Amino acid sequence: MFIDSHCHLDRIDLSPYDNNFANFMTAAADAGIEHMLCISIDLETYPAMRELVINYPQISLSVGAHPNTTEGIEPDAEQLLALAQDDRVVAIGETGLDYFRSEGDLTWQQQRLREHIKVALTLDKPLIIHTREAREDTLKILKEEGAEQVGGVIHCFTEDWDFAVEAMAMNFYISFSGIVTFNNAKAIQEVATKIPADRYLIETDSPYLAPAPHRGRPNYPLYVRHVAEFIAKLRNESLETVAWQSAENYKRLFNKAA
């Protein structure tokens, strides 16, 4: 059984499932998907996302605003705190820094990250961190704000082993997406090979970044199996071992007994 630790269920293409979310959930169960963490990227769409998944106990939620979200109301600590006290919310994020798609003075992005960290500390919930071309500032802010007290996960990991070591030292897990299956992802594959067994997760980030052999097409949580298969091959382990270990790591991080 697999856990997809990062997906955007309100954004997946349901046309292969007769545009019916219940049909998709049946297919996910048939594919061995035990649990999914549905990730928030802005507060405007969060209520509809929650409504979509609320009747499925095998789906947990996060609350946060993606660093590339520039429209709508800027989330403040009060809003985040109010939403994140929901028992279904197991994490704060995704949040972080993305200097690839943003230009100019990015102080606002850094301040948004700091606000999310403060909320996570207040609620004692882990963080889901997005970082792209911002490694130094990401690590610096996590350290300055005391993020190691709650830890979390560096999702869709695209950095190198040195970054992974620093992140793990601050109580963060490393999550591998379909990118690890790409031919040019040698540095990420090295991390997947070297990382301690108790410090990694697997994810799809669906509907984005489909793994091989589905690269370039819409992604689904069902494809998390391909990520697990690839990591198992890299680590010379069985698929069952990777599926079980990544699930145990998820449950430990997000304090889930199930």
> Is 258 contained in some domain?
no
Task: Specify the range with the lowest mean pLDDT, choosing from 94-103, 224-233, 243-252.
Answer: 94-103
> Is 233 contained in some domain?
yes
Quote the pLDDT of residue 95: 97
Distance (Å, whole) CA 220 – CA 153: 20
Q: Domain total for the chain?
A: 1
> Is 142 contained in some domain?
yes
Give the pLDDT band of residue 100 (cuts 50, 70, 90).
confident
Distance (Å, whole) CA 246 – CA 252: 10
Q: Which domain holds residue 132?
A: 2-253
Task: Enter the DSSP assignment of 2.
Answer: E
> Is 28 contained in some domain?
yes
| Average pLDDT value for residue range 187-215 | 97
> Is 54 contained in some domain?
yes
> Is 43 contained in some domain?
yes
Give me the CATH number covering residue 87.
Answer: 3.20.20.140
pTM of the model: 0.95
Give the pLDDT band of residue 118 (cuts 50, 70, 90).
very high
To which residue do tokens 């939620």 refer? 61
